[in-house]
Every structure is written in C-alpha cells, then in structure tokens.
Chain A
C-alpha cells in the first residue's frame, strides 16, 4: 500500500470514528456507551498520525524519502505498507457512509431468550413494586420476576415495557430487547410475549402497557415471561437501543 493511500486510510478511519462517536450517537449501535472516550481518543490519534504523515510524506504524492537510509534494498520498499491494510477501508468507509443499523428482530428471533439469572438468595432481590399507577419496567426486571419470583410481586400491577417488535410463530409476537456487554457480537436476547394485541410491524419500537400473564411453573426454567396487553403505542427508537434500564426517580429501587 502506497504511503499516500495509507495517509488517506488513517484520515478516513479517524474521521469515521469521530463521526460515529463525537458528532453522532451511531456508535451506540455497535458498542457499549463506556467505549466512547476510547473511540474519540482513537479517532483523534489516527487523524494526528495521518496529518503528521501527510506533512512528512508530502501528501498526496509519494515524495521520495532521500533522507532515510532504508529506502532501498528493503523488500517492502519505503512506501510499501502492508497490503492487507486495504481491508481497513471497508469498515472505515462503512461507518462514514453506510452505517449498518442496530441489531433487531432478526437476531432476536433466532435465539432463545436467555432468561436472566435466578437470584441466589430468597426473594429479597425482588422489592415490591409501587402500588399506584403504571409501573415502567425493564424487560430484564420483568422477565426475572416473571420467571423466578415465587412471591409473585408482579401480580395485580399494571406495567409498561418498551422494546422492539419481534414476530414469533403463528401470529404471536414479542416485545424484545438485545442487551450487550461489550459490542453487538455478544448481544443477548430479552423478550416478553405479548397477548391480546395485534402485532405491529417487525422492528417497530413500542411501549406495551398491560398485566402479567403467568406462564409455566414459576421458579423453574419452565416459566416464560408474558404480558396481557391493554395498550400498545408506537414510540421512536431510543438513542441507545441496547440499554434496557428504565430511568427511575431517585430514592426508589428498581431498574
């Protein structure tokens, strides 16, 4: 790879990283929010590296480096960068011009929901829900309670869940989320079956209000989370599609 092409690649990659992390929130489609400072720092470093190389090499031309002793006789050639680096243009241009969407119902429908872990000790991990009004809950919290909570704290409450639509078999559908711990490659599925409402189009983001629909024997792997919906509302897709947390008012436990 010629030196001027290397410079261009460094600049593209640096600008691409800044584009997805600093200027937009596109990076949230791929990695966890905590990686943002690292991405910005990498973008800046790559741009600086590219700029210095550009100045040194007389970008956009390959200025012969006569002041360097190793220009000749090295098999690589002074301008010869690694050929394999060409491949880096694919992600660099992808994030600049054709950023792929966040993972959605395709991924969610192919994997079984990984039921959140059973709490290790008693029911103390499931504090009682607030008594009045509609309780906004994360899919994670709802599924954990629906599957493992033998004291049935969900009973008699109206809850509100937010997620995207994943169609199931025979006209069933789920309100679902993908949860990542590092990047989209390790996405895990959370999904809650919705009863009593027609399925919105796949991948549409919805808020589902309803009551718990007990399924299977609670406290065993047999149980699965489900909801009797009273209302389904379309909502705009959130900025961070993988963040299942529900913003709670301070002072109230819950997620």
Chain B
C-alpha cells in the first residue's frame, strides 16, 4: 500500500495548484483531460529526462567510458545480458506456464513416487528443454513449487542446459570427426546431475532451500491469464536482476584475467582439469556456445576440455547469482561447490573411459 501513498499525493497537489485557478468548479470534461495530460506528463518525464541527460552529458560520459578496459568490460557485460535475456524469458514463460496451467497431479503421475527413482527420470527429462542455463533455474523453481521432489528438480536443473539436443549438436559441430566427445559430454553431464540429485536426498537439508515468496499463485478470483502475466513479470524481473549481477562478475573476470594465463597449466594433466573447470566458472559462456570455446582450447587434453563443457552449464558466475536469487545464497554456494567437484570428478572418470 505504501507505494500508492508515495505516488498519489503529488498528483493531487499538482492538480490543485495548476488546474484550480482556471476551473475552480472542476467542469465535467476538464478533470479527465487534466488527468490524461498528467498521466502523459508523468509517463513522458523520465524518458525526456534520460534523453536530456544522454544528450547533454553524452560526450563527457563517453569520454569517461573511453578507457579501453572499461569499454571492453561494458561490451562483455552487455553481451552476456543480451544473450541471456531471450533464454531467461523462455525459461520464465515455461515456468509461469507450469505454475499456472499445468495441474500438480501431472508431475506426481509422471514422476516415480520414490525420489531416488525420480532423480534419474528428471535428469533424462532435462533433454526436452531447449536453451541455455538461464532458462533452467526458473523452471526448476516452478517444478519445486508444484510439488516435485527437490532432488528431482535439481537433477533437472543441472541436466537441462547440458544435454538438450541443441547443445549436443553444437558439440558435434565443434568437434568434427570426434563423436566420442558428444557421448562423453552426455554421459558425464547426466552422471553429474543424477549423482547430485542423490546427494541431495542423502545430505540435503530443506532449510538451505529458500523458495522466494513471489506473488501468491492461484489467487481466488484472478483469471489464469492474469495469474500467468503476474508470475511471468515477477519471475522475469527477479531473475533478470540476478542475471545482471552475474554478468557483471563474469565480465570483470573476463576482462581482468587474460586467458593466456591458463595456458601455463596446460602441460600438467592433473592441474589442467580443475583449471579448465575454474575457467568455465568464471567465463560464464552459455552452454550452446561453450563447445566452440572448448574446441579452441588447443593444447589441453580432451578430458580437460570435457570438464570445461560439463562444468560450464552447471556452475558459473551468472548461474550462482541466479540460483542465490531464486533459492537463497546458503543453497547456491553449497550446491554449486558440490556440483563443481562432482562434475570435475565425473568428467575425469568418463574422459578416462571414453576419450
């Protein structure tokens, strides 16, 4: 309610000051016209103000931003946000649809009752959500709200960005003549997500998971479409804010750390594995593109590159930011570090077996 109090009084006063000398009686048409004008004024004001600021201060701001490192940072930051927004929007549309249009019994019917069995099923089901990791966080969140066991939803969260067809085709294209890499990526990613699901059943605590209180779903009296809109808007703005945080962190590392530093470690097979795992975390490349980046990391062993592709969609700076926004920081830090370890180990295992 406080927001209404904040906004409304200035409007009333503005009306009184300006409109009353001319029409003290408030003739029928005038208040409406004044109301429309003031609506337009208030709506247009921020745009005009920002435009003026941009035009007047533009050169100065551009000069301050002319520093080449700052310019590179802004470009990388903008790039990460821009490429994340469509996928985030896709994810929030799917998650809003799940929470408004799909009845809860669908999930209890489809998934095995036993969480230990539901985990692998959910992991494999990750293959159906095309998109990169930004999309999977809101979807996993809405699955949990709909009564899916957290362990199963988490397995889905991890596997969806890593094993969907688009990503696997991209991997196939990036490593021509090397289909083992696609198989290894699929197996290692599935393995990691299932192991993490089981680990959650075994060690996870409900209190780490903080599901945010969005606008209450299923409001009596509100139409389904209205509910969908409110939940879409809330989820998108919420996750979008955290995407910005993650993009800023990733851009900082991207610009501050020259990638050539990592080449120092390319000689040691045991160090190169965790090093590329770390690189995947700080680069925050989207999962549809990371195969191309991995392919360009010549000089590293295939297993280390596999680790880069397995860790990337599951743990990176923008994902950690998104997860802490959705599930809470206590969860995000624990879950991400455990996932990182499991992902590196399972890529080592699968790489040793297949590559």
The interface bits of chain B over 61-84 (1 if a CB of A lies within 8 angstroms of the residue's CB, else 0) are 110010011011011111111110
- The answer to whether A182 touches B62, judged by C-beta atoms less than 8 angstroms apart, is no
The interface bits of chain A over 210-224 (1 if a CB of B lies within 8 angstroms of the residue's CB, else 0) are 000000000001000
- The answer to whether B260 touches A30, judged by C-beta atoms less than 8 angstroms apart, is no
Task: Name the B residues within 8 Å of A102 (CB-CB).
Answer: 75
Task: Name the A residues within 8 Å of B286 (CB-CB).
Answer: 182-183
Task: Name the A residues within 8 Å of B259 (CB-CB).
Answer: 111
A94 an interface residue at 8 Å Cβ cutoff?
A: yes
The interface bits of chain A over 40-55 (1 if a CB of B lies within 8 angstroms of the residue's CB, else 0) are 0110011001001100
Which of these, B58, B65, B79, B229, contacts A30 with CB under 8 Å? Answer: B79
- The answer to whether A70 touches B216, judged by C-beta atoms less than 8 angstroms apart, is yes
B146 an interface residue at 8 Å Cβ cutoff?
A: no
Which of these, A9, A91, A186, A221, contacts B77 with CB under 8 Å? Answer: A91
- The answer to whether B4 touches A84, judged by C-beta atoms less than 8 angstroms apart, is no
For B, the interface residue count at a CB cutoff of 8 angstroms equals 83
The number of inter-chain residue pairs (CB within 8 angstroms) is 217
- The answer to whether B86 touches A41, judged by C-beta atoms less than 8 angstroms apart, is yes
- The answer to whether A82 touches B288, judged by C-beta atoms less than 8 angstroms apart, is no
A112 an interface residue at 8 Å Cβ cutoff?
A: yes
User: Beyond A6-B233, A45-B89, A49-B232, is A84–B325 a contact (Cβ under 8 Å)?
Assistant: yes
Closest to B297 in A: A114
- The answer to whether A94 touches B78, judged by C-beta atoms less than 8 angstroms apart, is yes
Task: Name the B residues within 8 Å of A182 (CB-CB).
Answer: 83, 285-286, 288-289, 292
Task: Name the B residues within 8 Å of A69 (CB-CB).
Answer: 219-222
- The answer to whether A100 touches B43, judged by C-beta atoms less than 8 angstroms apart, is no
Task: Name the B residues within 8 Å of A53 (CB-CB).
Answer: 229, 233
B250 an interface residue at 8 Å Cβ cutoff?
A: yes
- Determine how close the nearest CB of chain A comes to the CB of B295; give it in whole angstroms: 7
What is the CA–CA distance of A246 and B174 in the complex, to the nearest angstrom?
A: 20
Within 8 A of A (CB), among B227-247: 229, 232-234, 236-238, 240-242, 244-245, 247
- The answer to whether A107 touches B72, judged by C-beta atoms less than 8 angstroms apart, is yes
Which of these, A42, A101, A181, A221, contacts B75 with CB under 8 Å? Answer: A101
Closest to B237 in A: A85
Task: Name the A residues within 8 Å of B216 (CB-CB).
Answer: 70, 74
Task: Name the B residues within 8 Å of A56 (CB-CB).
Answer: 226, 229
Closest to A37 in B: B86
A252 an interface residue at 8 Å Cβ cutoff?
A: no
Instruction: Mark the stretch among A60-68, A129-137, A191-199, A229-237 that contacts chain B.
Output: A60-68
B213 an interface residue at 8 Å Cβ cutoff?
A: yes
A39 an interface residue at 8 Å Cβ cutoff?
A: yes
Closest to B212 in A: A82
A247 an interface residue at 8 Å Cβ cutoff?
A: no
B254 an interface residue at 8 Å Cβ cutoff?
A: yes
Some 10 contacts from A to B, beta carbons below 8 A apart, are A27-B82, A29-B79, A31-B83, A49-B236, A63-B4, A74-B216, A100-B74, A110-B258, A181-B289, A182-B285
Closest 4 A/B residue pairs (Cβ): A182-B289, A84-B241, A181-B292, A184-B79
15 more A-B residue pairs beyond the given contacts A10-B233, A98-B54, with a C-beta to C-beta distance below 8 A? A42-B86, A49-B236, A63-B4, A69-B221, A69-B222, A72-B1, A91-B78, A98-B58, A102-B75, A106-B71, A110-B260, A117-B298, A120-B176, A183-B83, A185-B80
